[in-house]
Chains A and B, each alone.
Chain A
Amino acid sequence: MKNTTTVIIGAGQSGLAFSKHLTAHSVDHILLERGEVANSWVTQRWDSLRLLTPNWQTRMPGMAYSGNDPDGYMTATDVAGFIKDYAAHTSAPVHGNTDVRLVSPFADGYKVETTQGDWFCNTVVVASGACNIANVPGFAGALPQAIQSLDLLTYKTPDQIGDGGVLVVGASASGAQLAKEIQAAGRQVTLSVGEHVRLPRVYRGRDICWWMDAIGLMDTHYSEVDDLKRARKVASLQLMGSESRANIDLNSLAEAGVRVVGRLQALDGQKGVLSGGLRNHCALADLKMKRLLQSIDQWIDAEGAADQFEPSEAFADTHLEDDTPLSFDLNGESIKTVIWATGYRPDYSWLQVPVFDRKGAIRHEGGRASDVDGLYVMGLPFMRRRKSSYIDGVGDDAADLAADLVSNLRRRAA
Protein backbone atom coordinates (compact mmCIF):
# COMPACT_ATOMS: atom_id res chain seq x y z
CA MET A 1 0.00 0.00 0.00
CA LYS A 2 1.32 3.41 -1.00
CA ASN A 3 1.19 6.40 1.33
CA THR A 4 0.33 10.03 0.86
CA THR A 5 -1.04 12.74 3.13
CA THR A 6 -4.14 13.61 1.14
CA VAL A 7 -6.03 11.83 -1.60
CA ILE A 8 -8.27 14.03 -3.71
CA ILE A 9 -10.92 12.01 -5.50
CA GLY A 10 -11.74 13.63 -8.82
CA ALA A 11 -9.63 15.84 -11.06
CA GLY A 12 -12.22 18.36 -12.19
CA GLN A 13 -12.26 22.04 -11.26
CA SER A 14 -12.88 21.29 -7.55
CA GLY A 15 -10.11 18.75 -7.10
CA LEU A 16 -7.59 20.76 -9.08
CA ALA A 17 -8.28 23.97 -7.15
CA PHE A 18 -7.85 22.03 -3.91
CA SER A 19 -4.62 20.53 -5.21
CA LYS A 20 -3.28 23.97 -6.07
CA HIS A 21 -3.83 25.11 -2.48
CA LEU A 22 -2.38 21.93 -0.96
CA THR A 23 0.73 22.42 -3.10
CA ALA A 24 0.99 25.98 -1.78
CA HIS A 25 0.86 24.54 1.77
CA SER A 26 3.44 21.86 0.79
CA VAL A 27 1.00 19.05 1.60
CA ASP A 28 1.90 15.81 -0.15
CA HIS A 29 -1.12 14.66 -2.15
CA ILE A 30 -2.45 12.95 -5.28
CA LEU A 31 -5.59 13.28 -7.38
CA LEU A 32 -7.36 10.14 -8.54
CA GLU A 33 -9.41 10.43 -11.73
CA ARG A 34 -11.43 7.58 -13.21
CA GLY A 35 -10.90 8.89 -16.77
CA GLU A 36 -8.92 11.89 -17.87
CA VAL A 37 -8.95 15.31 -16.26
CA ALA A 38 -12.44 16.91 -16.49
CA ASN A 39 -13.88 13.52 -17.44
CA SER A 40 -17.57 14.24 -16.85
CA TRP A 41 -17.46 17.47 -18.86
CA VAL A 42 -16.39 15.40 -21.86
CA THR A 43 -18.40 12.22 -21.46
CA GLN A 44 -21.51 13.00 -19.41
CA ARG A 45 -23.09 16.09 -20.90
CA TRP A 46 -25.29 16.68 -23.93
CA ASP A 47 -23.62 17.87 -27.13
CA SER A 48 -24.83 21.46 -27.28
CA LEU A 49 -24.25 22.30 -23.61
CA ARG A 50 -22.60 25.59 -22.85
CA LEU A 51 -21.74 27.03 -19.45
CA LEU A 52 -24.43 29.17 -17.84
CA THR A 53 -21.74 31.61 -16.79
CA PRO A 54 -19.85 33.98 -19.14
CA ASN A 55 -16.24 33.18 -20.06
CA TRP A 56 -14.69 35.92 -17.89
CA GLN A 57 -16.23 34.16 -14.88
CA THR A 58 -14.24 30.99 -15.59
CA ARG A 59 -11.67 31.84 -12.97
CA MET A 60 -9.60 29.36 -10.99
CA PRO A 61 -6.88 30.11 -8.45
CA GLY A 62 -3.93 31.35 -10.52
CA MET A 63 -5.55 31.06 -13.95
CA ALA A 64 -8.55 32.64 -15.65
CA TYR A 65 -10.09 32.65 -19.11
CA SER A 66 -7.84 34.69 -21.37
CA GLY A 67 -9.49 34.34 -24.80
CA ASN A 68 -10.96 37.09 -26.92
CA ASP A 69 -14.63 36.48 -26.12
CA PRO A 70 -15.03 37.27 -22.41
CA ASP A 71 -18.81 37.65 -22.73
CA GLY A 72 -19.31 34.33 -24.56
CA TYR A 73 -20.19 30.97 -23.02
CA MET A 74 -17.88 27.95 -23.20
CA THR A 75 -18.94 24.65 -24.69
CA ALA A 76 -18.39 21.58 -22.51
CA THR A 77 -15.36 20.75 -24.71
CA ASP A 78 -13.92 24.24 -24.09
CA VAL A 79 -14.45 23.79 -20.35
CA ALA A 80 -12.66 20.44 -20.41
CA GLY A 81 -9.82 22.10 -22.36
CA PHE A 82 -9.59 24.90 -19.81
CA ILE A 83 -9.48 22.44 -16.92
CA LYS A 84 -6.82 20.33 -18.66
CA ASP A 85 -4.73 23.47 -19.19
CA TYR A 86 -5.19 24.26 -15.52
CA ALA A 87 -3.99 20.79 -14.50
CA ALA A 88 -0.87 21.29 -16.63
CA HIS A 89 -0.39 24.86 -15.41
CA THR A 90 -0.48 23.76 -11.77
CA SER A 91 1.49 20.53 -12.40
CA ALA A 92 -1.24 18.72 -10.49
CA PRO A 93 -0.25 15.16 -9.45
CA VAL A 94 -3.12 13.51 -11.31
CA HIS A 95 -3.34 9.72 -11.53
CA GLY A 96 -5.63 9.20 -14.51
CA ASN A 97 -7.65 6.13 -15.52
CA THR A 98 -7.85 5.17 -11.88
CA ASP A 99 -11.24 4.12 -10.61
CA VAL A 100 -11.80 4.48 -6.88
CA ARG A 101 -13.49 1.32 -5.67
CA LEU A 102 -13.67 1.89 -1.94
CA VAL A 103 -12.73 4.47 0.64
CA SER A 104 -12.88 3.31 4.26
CA PRO A 105 -11.51 4.36 7.65
CA PHE A 106 -8.09 2.80 8.28
CA ALA A 107 -5.81 3.38 11.29
CA ASP A 108 -6.08 7.13 11.95
CA GLY A 109 -6.79 7.91 8.32
CA TYR A 110 -8.34 6.34 5.26
CA LYS A 111 -7.66 3.47 2.91
CA VAL A 112 -8.41 4.23 -0.74
CA GLU A 113 -8.77 1.12 -2.90
CA THR A 114 -8.46 1.70 -6.63
CA THR A 115 -8.12 -0.21 -9.89
CA GLN A 116 -4.43 0.80 -9.81
CA GLY A 117 -3.58 -0.28 -6.26
CA ASP A 118 -4.37 0.93 -2.77
CA TRP A 119 -3.40 4.11 -0.94
CA PHE A 120 -3.26 5.04 2.72
CA CYS A 121 -3.77 8.69 3.55
CA ASN A 122 -4.52 10.94 6.52
CA THR A 123 -7.16 13.02 4.80
CA VAL A 124 -9.54 12.61 1.89
CA VAL A 125 -11.13 15.23 -0.34
CA VAL A 126 -14.29 14.11 -2.12
CA ALA A 127 -14.20 16.18 -5.31
CA SER A 128 -16.03 13.73 -7.53
CA GLY A 129 -18.81 16.18 -8.31
CA ALA A 130 -22.49 16.60 -7.54
CA CYS A 131 -23.76 15.42 -10.91
CA ASN A 132 -22.74 11.74 -11.27
CA ILE A 133 -26.21 10.23 -11.41
CA ALA A 134 -29.28 11.52 -13.23
CA ASN A 135 -32.14 11.93 -10.79
CA VAL A 136 -35.46 10.51 -11.89
CA PRO A 137 -38.68 10.42 -9.89
CA GLY A 138 -39.64 7.14 -8.25
CA PHE A 139 -42.51 6.57 -10.67
CA ALA A 140 -40.26 6.84 -13.77
CA GLY A 141 -40.09 3.04 -13.84
CA ALA A 142 -43.84 2.92 -14.47
CA LEU A 143 -43.38 4.46 -17.92
CA PRO A 144 -44.89 2.15 -20.57
CA GLN A 145 -42.28 0.13 -22.52
CA ALA A 146 -43.31 1.72 -25.80
CA ILE A 147 -42.17 5.14 -24.62
CA GLN A 148 -38.51 6.05 -25.13
CA SER A 149 -36.96 7.21 -21.86
CA LEU A 150 -33.84 9.39 -21.65
CA ASP A 151 -32.20 11.32 -18.83
CA LEU A 152 -29.58 14.02 -18.44
CA LEU A 153 -26.73 11.54 -18.82
CA THR A 154 -28.12 9.58 -21.79
CA TYR A 155 -29.54 12.48 -23.82
CA LYS A 156 -26.97 13.86 -26.27
CA THR A 157 -28.79 15.25 -29.30
CA PRO A 158 -32.30 15.52 -30.83
CA ASP A 159 -31.14 12.96 -33.44
CA GLN A 160 -31.43 10.15 -30.89
CA ILE A 161 -35.14 10.76 -30.42
CA GLY A 162 -37.62 8.66 -32.38
CA ASP A 163 -40.70 10.06 -34.10
CA GLY A 164 -43.48 11.68 -32.16
CA GLY A 165 -43.84 14.26 -29.44
CA VAL A 166 -41.43 14.68 -26.54
CA LEU A 167 -42.16 15.31 -22.89
CA VAL A 168 -39.35 17.07 -21.05
CA VAL A 169 -39.80 16.77 -17.29
CA GLY A 170 -38.24 19.65 -15.37
CA ALA A 171 -37.72 23.28 -16.38
CA SER A 172 -34.48 24.28 -14.71
CA ALA A 173 -31.46 25.12 -16.87
CA SER A 174 -31.18 21.67 -18.41
CA GLY A 175 -34.88 21.00 -19.03
CA ALA A 176 -35.48 24.44 -20.51
CA GLN A 177 -32.42 24.10 -22.79
CA LEU A 178 -33.43 20.63 -23.97
CA ALA A 179 -37.01 21.78 -24.61
CA LYS A 180 -35.71 24.63 -26.73
CA GLU A 181 -33.33 22.55 -28.83
CA ILE A 182 -35.73 19.66 -29.38
CA GLN A 183 -38.59 21.98 -30.35
CA ALA A 184 -36.21 23.77 -32.73
CA ALA A 185 -35.38 20.38 -34.25
CA GLY A 186 -39.01 20.10 -35.32
CA ARG A 187 -40.52 18.03 -32.50
CA GLN A 188 -43.54 19.02 -30.47
CA VAL A 189 -42.21 19.43 -26.96
CA THR A 190 -44.36 19.41 -23.82
CA LEU A 191 -42.48 20.84 -20.85
CA SER A 192 -43.52 19.77 -17.37
CA VAL A 193 -42.74 22.62 -14.97
CA GLY A 194 -42.34 22.53 -11.20
CA GLU A 195 -40.45 25.00 -9.04
CA HIS A 196 -37.91 26.93 -11.08
CA VAL A 197 -35.69 29.99 -10.90
CA ARG A 198 -36.49 32.47 -13.65
CA LEU A 199 -33.90 35.06 -14.63
CA PRO A 200 -33.25 37.23 -17.69
CA ARG A 201 -29.93 36.53 -19.43
CA VAL A 202 -29.14 40.25 -19.62
CA TYR A 203 -30.38 43.02 -17.34
CA ARG A 204 -29.63 46.71 -17.78
CA GLY A 205 -26.97 45.87 -20.33
CA ARG A 206 -25.04 43.31 -18.26
CA ASP A 207 -25.11 39.54 -17.97
CA ILE A 208 -27.21 38.46 -14.97
CA CYS A 209 -24.16 36.54 -13.69
CA TRP A 210 -22.21 39.80 -13.69
CA TRP A 211 -24.90 41.37 -11.52
CA MET A 212 -25.12 38.47 -9.10
CA ASP A 213 -21.36 38.68 -8.68
CA ALA A 214 -21.27 42.51 -8.45
CA ILE A 215 -23.96 42.88 -5.79
CA GLY A 216 -22.26 40.23 -3.67
CA LEU A 217 -24.87 37.53 -4.05
CA MET A 218 -22.44 34.84 -5.25
CA ASP A 219 -20.15 35.45 -2.28
CA THR A 220 -22.93 35.05 0.32
CA HIS A 221 -21.46 32.78 3.01
CA TYR A 222 -23.39 29.75 4.20
CA SER A 223 -23.35 31.07 7.76
CA GLU A 224 -25.29 34.18 6.64
CA VAL A 225 -28.28 32.28 5.28
CA ASP A 226 -31.51 31.94 7.30
CA ASP A 227 -32.67 28.70 5.77
CA LEU A 228 -29.57 26.90 4.54
CA LYS A 229 -31.39 23.68 3.80
CA ARG A 230 -33.67 25.49 1.40
CA ALA A 231 -30.81 27.51 -0.12
CA ARG A 232 -28.95 24.27 -0.88
CA LYS A 233 -31.95 22.88 -2.71
CA VAL A 234 -32.66 25.85 -4.99
CA ALA A 235 -33.02 24.70 -8.60
CA SER A 236 -30.44 25.69 -11.20
CA LEU A 237 -30.97 29.02 -12.90
CA GLN A 238 -33.29 28.93 -15.90
CA LEU A 239 -30.57 30.30 -18.19
CA MET A 240 -28.74 29.30 -21.32
CA GLY A 241 -25.36 30.31 -22.68
CA SER A 242 -25.86 31.23 -26.33
CA GLU A 243 -24.45 33.71 -28.82
CA SER A 244 -27.76 35.57 -28.97
CA ARG A 245 -27.84 35.84 -25.17
CA ALA A 246 -31.55 35.07 -25.48
CA ASN A 247 -33.78 34.42 -22.50
CA ILE A 248 -35.00 30.90 -22.03
CA ASP A 249 -37.99 31.55 -19.81
CA LEU A 250 -41.36 29.88 -20.19
CA ASN A 251 -42.73 32.80 -22.24
CA SER A 252 -39.97 32.46 -24.85
CA LEU A 253 -40.33 28.68 -24.91
CA ALA A 254 -44.11 28.96 -25.37
CA GLU A 255 -43.51 31.42 -28.21
CA ALA A 256 -41.26 28.83 -29.83
CA GLY A 257 -44.16 26.37 -29.69
CA VAL A 258 -43.36 24.43 -26.50
CA ARG A 259 -46.48 23.38 -24.56
CA VAL A 260 -46.06 24.33 -20.90
CA VAL A 261 -47.79 22.04 -18.39
CA GLY A 262 -47.66 21.44 -14.62
CA ARG A 263 -45.32 19.25 -12.62
CA LEU A 264 -45.60 15.55 -13.44
CA GLN A 265 -46.99 14.01 -10.26
CA ALA A 266 -47.66 10.42 -11.17
CA LEU A 267 -47.86 7.87 -13.95
CA ASP A 268 -51.09 5.95 -13.86
CA GLY A 269 -51.08 3.21 -16.50
CA GLN A 270 -51.15 5.01 -19.84
CA LYS A 271 -51.84 8.35 -18.21
CA GLY A 272 -49.55 11.03 -16.82
CA VAL A 273 -51.04 13.11 -13.99
CA LEU A 274 -49.99 16.75 -13.79
CA SER A 275 -50.15 19.15 -10.85
CA GLY A 276 -52.72 21.94 -10.79
CA GLY A 277 -50.15 24.07 -8.96
CA LEU A 278 -48.44 25.35 -12.13
CA ARG A 279 -49.78 28.89 -11.70
CA ASN A 280 -48.22 29.17 -8.28
CA HIS A 281 -44.89 27.70 -9.41
CA CYS A 282 -44.79 30.44 -12.05
CA ALA A 283 -45.98 33.15 -9.64
CA LEU A 284 -43.19 32.24 -7.21
CA ALA A 285 -40.60 32.39 -10.01
CA ASP A 286 -41.90 35.73 -11.31
CA LEU A 287 -41.91 37.28 -7.83
CA LYS A 288 -38.42 36.02 -6.98
CA MET A 289 -37.05 37.33 -10.28
CA LYS A 290 -38.60 40.73 -9.61
CA ARG A 291 -37.08 40.76 -6.13
CA LEU A 292 -33.61 40.04 -7.51
CA LEU A 293 -33.93 42.70 -10.22
CA GLN A 294 -35.09 45.18 -7.59
CA SER A 295 -32.07 44.45 -5.46
CA ILE A 296 -29.90 45.14 -8.51
CA ASP A 297 -31.70 48.47 -9.03
CA GLN A 298 -31.19 49.30 -5.35
CA TRP A 299 -27.49 48.45 -5.58
CA ILE A 300 -27.12 50.75 -8.60
CA ASP A 301 -28.94 53.56 -6.79
CA ALA A 302 -26.83 53.09 -3.66
CA GLU A 303 -23.67 53.25 -5.79
CA GLY A 304 -25.01 56.33 -7.56
CA ALA A 305 -24.15 54.55 -10.81
CA ALA A 306 -27.44 54.80 -12.74
CA ASP A 307 -25.74 56.64 -15.62
CA GLN A 308 -23.34 53.72 -16.18
CA PHE A 309 -26.07 51.23 -16.99
CA GLU A 310 -29.11 50.94 -19.18
CA PRO A 311 -32.43 51.90 -17.58
CA SER A 312 -34.43 49.53 -15.42
CA GLU A 313 -36.50 46.95 -17.31
CA ALA A 314 -39.61 44.99 -16.46
CA PHE A 315 -40.36 41.52 -17.80
CA ALA A 316 -43.86 40.23 -18.48
CA ASP A 317 -45.18 37.74 -15.94
CA THR A 318 -45.24 34.14 -17.11
CA HIS A 319 -48.22 33.73 -19.40
CA LEU A 320 -50.21 30.53 -19.05
CA GLU A 321 -53.19 29.33 -21.03
CA ASP A 322 -56.44 29.22 -19.04
CA ASP A 323 -56.94 25.54 -19.74
CA THR A 324 -53.52 23.99 -19.02
CA PRO A 325 -54.06 20.22 -19.06
CA LEU A 326 -53.99 18.14 -15.87
CA SER A 327 -53.15 14.86 -17.57
CA PHE A 328 -51.87 13.45 -20.84
CA ASP A 329 -52.30 10.19 -22.63
CA LEU A 330 -49.18 8.07 -23.23
CA ASN A 331 -51.18 5.81 -25.51
CA GLY A 332 -51.96 8.48 -28.07
CA GLU A 333 -49.63 9.91 -30.67
CA SER A 334 -48.75 13.01 -28.70
CA ILE A 335 -45.84 11.77 -26.56
CA LYS A 336 -43.41 9.05 -27.66
CA THR A 337 -40.34 10.10 -25.67
CA VAL A 338 -39.86 11.27 -22.09
CA ILE A 339 -36.67 13.06 -21.03
CA TRP A 340 -36.12 13.30 -17.29
CA ALA A 341 -34.41 16.65 -16.71
CA THR A 342 -34.97 16.30 -12.99
CA GLY A 343 -31.51 17.07 -11.74
CA TYR A 344 -28.48 15.08 -10.71
CA ARG A 345 -27.13 13.59 -7.55
CA PRO A 346 -23.65 12.52 -6.48
CA ASP A 347 -22.54 8.88 -6.49
CA TYR A 348 -20.99 7.95 -3.15
CA SER A 349 -21.38 4.19 -3.52
CA TRP A 350 -17.61 3.81 -3.04
CA LEU A 351 -17.51 5.86 0.15
CA GLN A 352 -17.75 3.40 3.06
CA VAL A 353 -17.34 5.99 5.79
CA PRO A 354 -20.12 6.88 8.26
CA VAL A 355 -20.71 10.42 7.04
CA PHE A 356 -24.20 10.22 5.59
CA ASP A 357 -27.54 11.57 6.69
CA ARG A 358 -30.71 9.50 6.23
CA LYS A 359 -31.12 10.84 2.69
CA GLY A 360 -27.63 9.70 1.68
CA ALA A 361 -26.06 13.16 1.63
CA ILE A 362 -22.73 13.83 3.34
CA ARG A 363 -23.29 15.70 6.61
CA HIS A 364 -20.85 18.57 6.49
CA GLU A 365 -20.06 21.95 7.97
CA GLY A 366 -19.10 24.13 5.02
CA GLY A 367 -17.42 21.18 3.29
CA ARG A 368 -15.78 19.53 6.34
CA ALA A 369 -17.46 16.24 7.20
CA SER A 370 -19.37 16.58 10.49
CA ASP A 371 -19.07 13.00 11.73
CA VAL A 372 -15.47 12.01 10.99
CA ASP A 373 -12.06 13.63 11.13
CA GLY A 374 -10.12 14.58 8.02
CA LEU A 375 -12.72 14.15 5.30
CA TYR A 376 -13.68 17.06 3.06
CA VAL A 377 -16.13 17.51 0.20
CA MET A 378 -16.15 20.06 -2.62
CA GLY A 379 -18.49 21.49 -5.23
CA LEU A 380 -21.87 20.93 -3.57
CA PRO A 381 -24.63 23.53 -3.99
CA PHE A 382 -24.15 26.44 -1.54
CA MET A 383 -21.54 24.39 0.29
CA ARG A 384 -19.65 27.41 1.66
CA ARG A 385 -20.93 30.16 -0.60
CA ARG A 386 -23.69 30.63 -3.14
CA LYS A 387 -21.02 30.16 -5.84
CA SER A 388 -19.72 26.86 -4.40
CA SER A 389 -21.08 24.75 -7.27
CA TYR A 390 -19.76 27.12 -9.94
CA ILE A 391 -16.28 27.01 -11.46
CA ASP A 392 -15.81 30.54 -10.11
CA GLY A 393 -16.56 29.27 -6.61
CA VAL A 394 -14.10 26.42 -6.17
CA GLY A 395 -11.09 28.69 -5.57
CA ASP A 396 -12.35 30.38 -2.40
CA ASP A 397 -13.79 27.13 -1.02
CA ALA A 398 -10.56 25.23 -1.72
CA ALA A 399 -8.52 27.97 -0.03
CA ASP A 400 -10.68 27.78 3.12
CA LEU A 401 -10.81 24.01 3.30
CA ALA A 402 -7.13 23.46 2.45
CA ALA A 403 -6.26 25.78 5.35
CA ASP A 404 -8.63 23.78 7.57
CA LEU A 405 -7.02 20.54 6.41
CA VAL A 406 -3.54 21.84 7.23
CA SER A 407 -4.60 22.80 10.76
CA ASN A 408 -6.21 19.39 11.11
CA LEU A 409 -2.87 17.75 10.20
CA ARG A 410 -1.01 19.97 12.66
CA ARG A 411 -3.46 19.14 15.42
CA ARG A 412 -3.03 15.43 14.78
CA ALA A 413 0.76 15.72 14.66
CA ALA A 414 0.83 17.63 17.97
Chain B
Amino acid sequence: MTNTQMMDTEVNNGVNVEALLGAREALDATPEAAQFKWRASSAWVNGTHTTTKIDTFFGLGEEQSRGKEFTVDTDHPEIFAAEDNAATPVELVLSGLAGCLTAGVATIAQNRGIQLNSVTATIEGDMDLQGILGIDDEVRNGFGTIRVNFQIDADASEDDIKALVAQSQKRSAVFDIITNPTNVFVTVD
Protein backbone atom coordinates (compact mmCIF):
# COMPACT_ATOMS: atom_id res chain seq x y z
CA MET B 1 0.00 0.00 0.00
CA THR B 2 1.33 3.43 -0.93
CA ASN B 3 1.20 6.51 1.24
CA THR B 4 -1.42 8.05 -1.01
CA GLN B 5 -3.71 5.10 -0.43
CA MET B 6 -3.15 5.38 3.28
CA MET B 7 -4.25 9.01 3.24
CA ASP B 8 -7.46 7.89 1.59
CA THR B 9 -8.43 5.55 4.40
CA GLU B 10 -10.63 6.99 7.06
CA VAL B 11 -8.43 6.07 10.00
CA ASN B 12 -4.80 7.10 9.89
CA ASN B 13 -2.52 6.46 12.83
CA GLY B 14 0.51 6.48 10.54
CA VAL B 15 0.85 2.71 10.63
CA ASN B 16 0.90 0.67 7.42
CA VAL B 17 -1.11 -2.30 8.66
CA GLU B 18 -1.48 -3.89 5.22
CA ALA B 19 2.30 -4.10 4.91
CA LEU B 20 2.53 -5.65 8.39
CA LEU B 21 -0.18 -8.20 7.64
CA GLY B 22 1.54 -8.99 4.35
CA ALA B 23 4.81 -9.52 6.20
CA ARG B 24 3.07 -11.81 8.68
CA GLU B 25 1.72 -13.94 5.86
CA ALA B 26 5.11 -14.06 4.12
CA LEU B 27 6.97 -14.96 7.31
CA ASP B 28 4.44 -17.67 8.15
CA ALA B 29 5.45 -19.38 4.91
CA THR B 30 9.20 -18.82 5.45
CA PRO B 31 9.86 -19.08 9.19
CA GLU B 32 13.63 -18.85 8.64
CA ALA B 33 13.21 -15.29 7.37
CA ALA B 34 11.45 -14.47 10.63
CA GLN B 35 14.64 -15.11 12.62
CA PHE B 36 15.97 -11.71 13.66
CA LYS B 37 18.96 -10.64 15.71
CA TRP B 38 18.97 -7.24 17.40
CA ARG B 39 22.28 -5.70 18.41
CA ALA B 40 23.95 -2.94 20.28
CA SER B 41 27.60 -2.23 21.00
CA SER B 42 28.72 -0.27 23.98
CA ALA B 43 31.86 1.48 25.18
CA TRP B 44 32.65 2.67 28.67
CA VAL B 45 33.24 6.42 28.84
CA ASN B 46 34.09 7.13 32.46
CA GLY B 47 32.62 6.42 35.88
CA THR B 48 29.13 4.92 35.36
CA HIS B 49 28.77 6.61 31.97
CA THR B 50 28.51 4.29 28.95
CA THR B 51 27.74 5.05 25.32
CA THR B 52 25.91 2.43 23.26
CA LYS B 53 25.70 2.51 19.48
CA ILE B 54 22.95 0.82 17.50
CA ASP B 55 22.98 0.29 13.75
CA THR B 56 22.78 -3.04 11.97
CA PHE B 57 20.48 -5.94 12.68
CA PHE B 58 19.88 -9.30 11.04
CA GLY B 59 16.53 -10.26 9.57
CA LEU B 60 14.73 -11.57 6.47
CA GLY B 61 17.71 -13.87 5.94
CA GLU B 62 20.38 -11.16 5.66
CA GLU B 63 22.22 -8.30 7.33
CA GLN B 64 20.15 -5.14 7.48
CA SER B 65 21.75 -1.72 7.72
CA ARG B 66 19.80 1.41 8.48
CA GLY B 67 22.46 3.62 6.90
CA LYS B 68 22.65 5.55 10.14
CA GLU B 69 23.70 5.01 13.70
CA PHE B 70 21.78 5.72 16.91
CA THR B 71 23.60 6.57 20.12
CA VAL B 72 22.19 5.93 23.57
CA ASP B 73 23.99 7.12 26.68
CA THR B 74 23.47 5.79 30.17
CA ASP B 75 24.76 7.05 33.49
CA HIS B 76 23.52 7.44 37.05
CA PRO B 77 22.32 10.46 39.02
CA GLU B 78 24.41 12.49 41.41
CA ILE B 79 22.98 10.85 44.53
CA PHE B 80 24.78 7.74 43.31
CA ALA B 81 27.97 9.80 43.30
CA ALA B 82 27.87 9.79 39.51
CA GLU B 83 27.89 12.61 36.95
CA ASP B 84 24.32 12.22 35.69
CA ASN B 85 25.31 12.50 32.02
CA ALA B 86 22.29 10.49 30.90
CA ALA B 87 19.32 8.43 32.05
CA THR B 88 19.94 5.25 34.03
CA PRO B 89 19.83 1.90 32.24
CA VAL B 90 16.69 0.94 34.18
CA GLU B 91 14.96 4.09 32.99
CA LEU B 92 15.79 3.02 29.43
CA VAL B 93 14.14 -0.31 30.18
CA LEU B 94 11.01 1.61 31.21
CA SER B 95 11.30 3.71 28.02
CA GLY B 96 11.56 0.51 26.02
CA LEU B 97 8.37 -0.83 27.60
CA ALA B 98 6.54 2.46 26.99
CA GLY B 99 7.76 2.63 23.38
CA CYS B 100 6.84 -0.97 22.66
CA LEU B 101 3.36 -0.83 24.20
CA THR B 102 2.57 2.49 22.53
CA ALA B 103 3.70 1.25 19.10
CA GLY B 104 1.43 -1.74 19.67
CA VAL B 105 -1.51 0.47 20.60
CA ALA B 106 -1.09 2.50 17.39
CA THR B 107 -0.77 -0.59 15.19
CA ILE B 108 -3.70 -2.45 16.71
CA ALA B 109 -5.86 0.69 16.62
CA GLN B 110 -5.08 1.06 12.91
CA ASN B 111 -5.96 -2.59 12.29
CA ARG B 112 -9.22 -2.20 14.22
CA GLY B 113 -10.15 1.05 12.49
CA ILE B 114 -9.80 3.21 15.60
CA GLN B 115 -8.50 6.77 15.13
CA LEU B 116 -6.10 7.81 17.88
CA ASN B 117 -5.94 11.48 18.85
CA SER B 118 -3.39 11.23 21.61
CA VAL B 119 -1.63 8.49 23.52
CA THR B 120 0.44 9.28 26.57
CA ALA B 121 1.71 6.97 29.26
CA THR B 122 3.39 7.34 32.60
CA ILE B 123 5.48 4.48 33.75
CA GLU B 124 6.97 3.78 37.15
CA GLY B 125 9.02 0.91 38.51
CA ASP B 126 9.58 0.13 42.19
CA MET B 127 13.10 -0.85 43.13
CA ASP B 128 14.54 -1.76 46.52
CA LEU B 129 18.19 -0.71 46.37
CA GLN B 130 19.05 -3.19 49.11
CA GLY B 131 19.25 -5.63 46.20
CA ILE B 132 21.85 -4.01 43.93
CA LEU B 133 23.83 -2.71 46.91
CA GLY B 134 24.11 -6.22 48.30
CA ILE B 135 22.55 -5.29 51.62
CA ASP B 136 19.89 -8.00 51.59
CA ASP B 137 20.26 -11.19 49.52
CA GLU B 138 16.52 -11.80 49.57
CA VAL B 139 15.83 -8.58 47.69
CA ARG B 140 16.07 -8.85 43.94
CA ASN B 141 18.13 -6.37 41.92
CA GLY B 142 15.46 -5.54 39.41
CA PHE B 143 12.04 -3.98 39.63
CA GLY B 144 9.65 -5.42 42.19
CA THR B 145 6.64 -3.97 40.40
CA ILE B 146 6.14 -1.89 37.27
CA ARG B 147 3.06 0.25 36.72
CA VAL B 148 2.11 1.70 33.34
CA ASN B 149 -0.76 4.16 33.11
CA PHE B 150 -2.06 5.08 29.67
CA GLN B 151 -4.09 8.17 28.85
CA ILE B 152 -5.65 7.62 25.43
CA ASP B 153 -7.92 9.92 23.48
CA ALA B 154 -9.42 7.93 20.62
CA ASP B 155 -12.66 7.62 18.70
CA ALA B 156 -13.72 4.46 20.53
CA SER B 157 -15.48 3.25 23.65
CA GLU B 158 -13.67 2.92 26.96
CA ASP B 159 -13.68 -0.89 26.68
CA ASP B 160 -12.41 -0.79 23.10
CA ILE B 161 -9.54 1.41 24.24
CA LYS B 162 -8.79 -0.97 27.13
CA ALA B 163 -8.82 -3.83 24.63
CA LEU B 164 -6.18 -2.01 22.52
CA VAL B 165 -3.90 -1.77 25.52
CA ALA B 166 -4.53 -5.41 26.51
CA GLN B 167 -3.85 -6.70 22.99
CA SER B 168 -0.73 -4.54 22.80
CA GLN B 169 0.64 -6.22 25.95
CA LYS B 170 -0.20 -9.61 24.47
CA ARG B 171 1.92 -8.89 21.39
CA SER B 172 4.68 -6.81 23.01
CA ALA B 173 8.29 -8.01 22.90
CA VAL B 174 9.41 -5.82 25.77
CA PHE B 175 6.41 -6.78 27.93
CA ASP B 176 7.38 -10.41 27.37
CA ILE B 177 11.06 -9.70 28.05
CA ILE B 178 10.16 -8.09 31.37
CA THR B 179 7.48 -10.54 32.52
CA ASN B 180 9.12 -13.79 31.45
CA PRO B 181 12.59 -15.28 31.91
CA THR B 182 15.27 -15.27 29.21
CA ASN B 183 18.54 -17.20 29.06
CA VAL B 184 21.36 -14.69 29.07
CA PHE B 185 24.93 -15.58 28.08
CA VAL B 186 27.60 -13.08 29.06
CA THR B 187 31.12 -13.92 27.89
CA VAL B 188 34.49 -12.19 27.97
CA ASP B 189 36.96 -12.27 25.08
Contact = CB atoms under 8 A, between A and B. Distances in A.
B181 A276 contact: no
Given A277-B179, A280-B170, A280-B175, 15 more contacts: A195-B170, A262-B179, A268-B181, A273-B180, A275-B179, A276-B180, A277-B176, A280-B169, A283-B162, A283-B169, A284-B166, A290-B159, A291-B159, A291-B163, A358-B31
B180 A275 contact: yes
Interface string B174-189: 0110111100000000
B115 interface: no
A102 B80 CA distance: 70
A283 B163 CA distance: 8
Interface in B86-114: none
Interface string A331-355: 0000000000000000000000000
B25 to A, nearest CB: 10
Given A277-B175, A291-B159, A358-B31, A283 B166 contact: yes
Interface residues on A, range: 10 to 19
Contacts of B178: 276
30 contacts: A229-B28, A262-B179, A265-B180, A265-B181, A266-B181, A268-B181, A273-B180, A273-B181, A275-B180, A276-B179, A276-B180, A277-B169, A277-B176, A277-B179, A277-B180, A280-B166, A280-B170, A280-B175, A283-B162, A283-B166, A284-B167, A284-B170, A287-B159, A287-B162, A287-B163, A288-B163, A290-B159, A291-B159, A291-B163, A358-B31
A183 to B, nearest CB: 26
Contacts of A287: 159, 162-163, 166
Chain B residues touching A, range: 10 to 19
Nearest to B31: A358
Residue from B167, B175, B176, B179 having most chain A Cβ neighbours under 10 A = B179
A287 B170 CA distance: 13
Contacts of A276: 178-180
Contacts of B28: 229
A392 B87 CA distance: 59
Contacts of B163: 284, 287-288, 291
